[in-house]
Amino acid sequence: MKVYAFQNHSLVLYKNSSFTYSSPVQKGGLYRVPVNYIRRNLPKLNEWKNSKYFSASENSLSVSMVYTTEKLDHWLLEQSVDKKLIRCVSAVFDACKEIAYKIRTASCNKIACFNDFGDEQLAIDVLADKVIFENLENSGVVSVASSEEVPREQKLKGSGFSVAFDPLDGSSIIDTNFAVGSIFGIWPGDKLVGMKGRDMAAAALVVYGPRTTISLALKDIEHVHEFTLVDDFSARHGQWVHTNEFHSIEEGKLFAPGNLRAIQDNAGYSSLIQFWLNEKYQLRYTGGMVPDVNQILVKGRGVFCNPASASAKAKLRLLYELAPTAFVVEKAGGKSSDGKQSVLDIIIQSTDQRSQVCYGSAGEVERFEEYVGLKVLSGASV
Ligand code: FDP
């Protein structure tokens, strides 16, 4: 029997056997118990196992319990988010739920992971791309969509928003079963090129790890909100529940240094790495940008960077990866920089535009600008 405790609001019980509960229940399925009921009847959560309201024996019962906040749709309604934006965000969450399931059930060889889609066996990143396009199209509120897989603006039949996404970031580590992610940027209107990150209506970072989570940032809502996919053993492959809120990124000795090969001809980056080593920072780098950045939100401290050099060029794309991630990081109280300015202030000139980047606490991003800056990129000697 497992007990997972999250914060406030309601208790969700999963049952795959019988158990006794004070109200009549059906066999099987999911039961939501209002938090007031829990407070009245189970003043101490850890006493629940011995309570008269839940009885269990080793042989007859297997119950897992999640003590959590509200479901995604209730949360969105409570925040008074624009109805069209709710439809767009819900389409993203629906797509990610399906992708999470496909990733969990994929089979992998040494090169890639595959899953069934219709009658075909498709690589998981191609599959993720299809699933997202279908969900955005069906939402009716997306007029333009563009994906890192097919980097051009494609007209959809809806109207209201334009969405850029990286369907499966970290495709080179998916066969190793490391955490991978998806990235979404949602802009109002019907174009992506010509916009800035700061113009976004919403952005999201999705982590497919031991848990599937989405860190969602909405323009008019404070902070970043984490939703966790909680399995409900149904054909819907789970439901999203609000599990965390990220509001500050403090100074702290945690670093995730990307594109390390650039230290060969970027002396500023080499010095910055030396600074972190001298200061005995904790190394936490997986090679997947989404989990590497998302950890900064969860821990509330740290730095991620992916600097460039003449021989190790910038790899990450502004539209699909950098701008949406910057939107999430800055909403969570952190900073972003390309070496000189916030990533949110860069005008997106083309779908393929790339940049070096740093995300993290204010002090770390300032240090990146000081050590790395644009020195190598502008041709200045370092
Ligand atoms: P991947 O190529 O595996 O999709 O966005 C691309 C990305 O992963 C990032 O997630 C990651 O931070 C970066 O590339 C790692 O690049 P290198 O493996 O070239 O260092």
pLDDT tens-place string over residues 166-202: 999 998 899 999 999 999 999 999 999 999 999 999 9
Q: Among residues of the chain, what percentage have pLDDT more than 90?
A: 68
**pLDDT average, residue stretch 354-377:** 95
Q: Which pTM was predicted? A: 0.84
Ligand 1 atom 7: the closest Cα is on which residue?
170
Task: Read off the pLDDT of residues 19-40 as tens digits, 9 standing for 90 and up.
Answer: 333 333 333 333 444 444 444 4
Closest CA to 263 of 315, 310, 303, 316: 310
User: CB-side exposure of 289: number of CA atoms within 13 Å?
Assistant: 28
Q: Which atom of ligand 1 is nearest to the CA of 169?
A: 4
Q: Which atom of ligand 1 is nearest to the CA of 181?
A: 10
pLDDT: which is higher, 241 or 163 = 163
Q: How far apart are CA 13 and CA 29, in angstroms?
A: 9
Closest CA to 142 of 221, 87, 83: 87
Question: With a 6 A CB cut-off, is 325 part of the ligand 1 pocket?
Answer: no
Residue 105: other Cβ atoms inside 10 A: 11
Q: Which helix (H) or strand (E) holds 185?
A: strand 180-188
Q: Ligand 1 centre and the CA of 348: distance in Å? A: 21
**Strand 154-155 with 142-147, pairing:** antiparallel
In this predicted structure, which of 1-5, 83-87, 211-215, 252-256 has the lowest mean pLDDT?
Answer: 1-5
Collapsing DSSP to helix, strand or coil, 10 comes out as strand
Q: Which atom of ligand 1 is nearest to the CA of 260?
A: 20
pLDDT: which is higher, 373 or 2 = 373
Ligand 1 atom 12: the closest Cα is on which residue?
289
